[in-house]
């Protein structure tokens, strides 16, 4: 069952803090890189913060957690990583975050690659992927290996197709520009690129988006697609993924 309200709250340069709330005003936030934007939404809409979820240790995802926890008394759920220096309930693969209000059962999935201890939260039709899976992209490999990241992405891609992807950054337009260069014959990708450009021009977020759309458009989930595999070289899957990630690391948006 989808939540009553699911909102990407813009923060910092291009982060999204995810806010999920029920009809009674009970709310959670995911990856609050700063507190002020969350506090504004909570006050404006009369919401009560019940839990704070963290996917990984980077400052732009945890920077506001301590302040929000102190102000609300909401518990923090975080991966087992000493770099997250907060009083938190530590969770790992196979565990479940169960909340009474809002009523949520969120499975914890370990998805290393961007960082060694990165986790995602999945349940109630929603996936909070942090910086592992972006719309039409994936995170940089700061600590993990290509094999680890590919396995993590394969795991997320196997979730139900109607799952709503809630990722940590607004990167979709640039990701589409890169992806089209790798798989120019992908009609679904061309449609997604046009949609994303229109959404951003209108001041709208490009996410959430379903995993069905991601499987049709995201090159990092399409390593085995014939056109893309040909473009990357016909080696084994991990080598193709590593080459794709290398190309993305070197990619720069064309000047307008």
**CATH assignment of the domain containing 198:** 3.60.15.10
Q: Decide if 162 is catalytic.
A: no
Can you give the pLDDT at residue 2? Answer: 62
Q: Does 81 share its domain with 140? A: no
Q: Which domain holds residue 122?
A: 106-256
Q: Does 168 share its domain with 58? A: no
Give the count of alpha carbons within 13 A of 172, CB side only.
29
Q: Which of 22, 31, 58, 118 is catalytic?
A: 58
Q: Decide if 23 is catalytic.
A: no
Q: Which of 22, 31, 60, 81 is catalytic?
A: 60
Q: Does 72 share its domain with 166? A: no
Provide the H-helix boundaries in the chain.
Answer: 36-45, 59-62, 65-72, 146-157, 172-182, 187-201, 211-217, 226-232, 237-250
Can you give the pLDDT at residue 145? Answer: 97
Can you give the pLDDT at residue 253? Answer: 80
Can you give the pLDDT at residue 77? Answer: 98
Can you give the pLDDT at residue 113? Answer: 98
Q: Decide if 61 is catalytic.
A: yes
Contacts with 123 (C-beta within 8 Å, 6 or more apart), sequence order: 96, 104, 105, 106, 107
Helix 237-250 and helix 172-182, axial crossing angle in degrees, nearest 10: 120
Domain boundary pick from 70, 104, 138:
104
Q: Decide if 58 is catalytic.
A: yes
Q: Which of 56, 57, 81, 118 is catalytic?
A: 56
Can you give the pLDDT at residue 4? Answer: 75
Query: Domains in the chain: how many in total?
Result: 2
Q: Taking a C-beta distance cutoff of 8 angstroms, is the pair 48, 69 a contact?
A: no
Q: Does 59 share its domain with 140? A: no
Q: Decide if 154 is catalytic.
A: no
For residue 245, tell me if it sits in a domain. yes
For residue 92, tell me if it sits in a domain. no
Can you give the pLDDT at residue 150? Answer: 98
pLDDT beneath 50, residues of the chain = none
**Closest to 134 in 3D by CA, of 181, 96, 169:** 169
Q: Read off the pLDDT of residues 100-153 as tens digits, 9 standing for 90 and up.
A: 999 999 999 999 999 999 999 999 999 999 999 999 999 999 999 999 999 999
Q: Decide if 118 is catalytic.
A: no
Our CA angle for 56, 108, 189, nearest 5°, is: 75
Task: Scan for tokens 């923060």, then name that residue.
Answer: 11
Q: Which of 22, 31, 114, 118 is catalytic?
A: 114
Q: Which of 31, 57, 61, 118 is catalytic?
A: 61
Q: Does 168 share its domain with 227? A: yes
């Amino acid at each position: 069952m989808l939540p009553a309200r699911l909102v990407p709250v813009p923060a910092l340069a291009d982060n999204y803090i995810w806010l999920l709330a029920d009809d009674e005003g009970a709310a959670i936030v995911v990856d609050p890189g700063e507190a002020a934007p969350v506090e504004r939404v909570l006050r404006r809409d009369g919401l009560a913060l019940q839990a704070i979820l963290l996917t990984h240790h980077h400052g732009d995802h945890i920077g506001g957690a301590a302040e929000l926890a102190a102000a609300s008394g909401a518990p923090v759920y975080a991966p087992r990583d000493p770099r997250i220096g907060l009083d938190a309930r530590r969770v790992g693969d196979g565990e479940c975050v169960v909340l009474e209000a809002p009523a949520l059962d969120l499975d914890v999935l370990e998805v290393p690659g961007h960082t060694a201890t990165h986790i995602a939260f999945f349940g109630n039709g929603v996936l909070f992927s942090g910086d592992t899976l972006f719309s039409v992209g994936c995170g940089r490999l700061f600590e993990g290996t290509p094999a680890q990241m590919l396995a993590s992405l394969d795991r997320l891609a196997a979730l139900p197709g109607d799952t709503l992807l809630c990722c940590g950054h607004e990167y979709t337009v640039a990701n589409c520009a890169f992806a089209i260069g790798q798989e120019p014959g992908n009609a679904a990708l061309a449609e997604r690129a046009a949609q994303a450009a229109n959404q951003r021009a209108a001041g709208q977020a490009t996410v959430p988006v379903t995993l069905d759309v991601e499987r049709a458009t995201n090159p990092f989930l399409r390593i085995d697609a014939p056109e893309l595999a040909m473009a990357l070289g016909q080696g084994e899957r991990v080598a193709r993924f590593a080459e794709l990630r290398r190309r993305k690391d070197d990619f720069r948006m064309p000047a307008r």
